[in-house]
Amino acid sequence: MSTATKPRHIGRNISRIRELRGMKQEILGEAIGTSQKNISVIESSETVDPEKLKEIAKALGVTVEAIENFSEESVFNFFNNFYDNSANNGQGNGNTNHNACNFNPLDKVVELYERLVQAEKDKVEYLEKLMKGK
């Protein structure tokens, strides 16, 4: 059994990053001045020309190193950490609430509803006056 590490498949990494960014092959192709078909060929290649890789990285908004070292595991770790920290905005011990309202949202809804009802009453009253004037 061989312990040699398999080289990373750069094309597959480009494909996954592109998909995670919600970008189609056609759009990536336009961004680097090539066709969708050429992007498909690039994504099926294990290696990519360094200059082309720089262009692709720029179009995807990542570094060349990010493409070369991309792994599904690192993406999941990033999103898990992001989710875990989102509850406390990545700060403090989780007991601070930076999004606390200093008013009751239901009170604002009731206030808005009352204003809408009053506006409708005013319209009805105005229309009744117009009708009586005829």
Give dist(CA 20, CA 16) in Å, integer.
6
Q: Is the pLDDT of residue 54 over 80?
A: yes
Indicate the average pLDDT of the chain: 80
Q: At what angle do helices 10-20 and 50-60 cross, to 10 degrees?
A: 10
Query: What is the rounded CA–CA span in Å between residue 114 and residue 96?
Result: 34
Q: What's the predicted TM-score (pTM) here? A: 0.54
Residue 101 pLDDT greater than 90, yes or no: no
How much is the pLDDT for 44? 94
Residue 90, pLDDT score: 47
Phi-psi region of 94 (alpha: psi -120 to 50; beta: other; left: phi over 0): left
44 contacts 9 by C-beta, under 8 angstroms: no
pLDDT of residue 99: 58
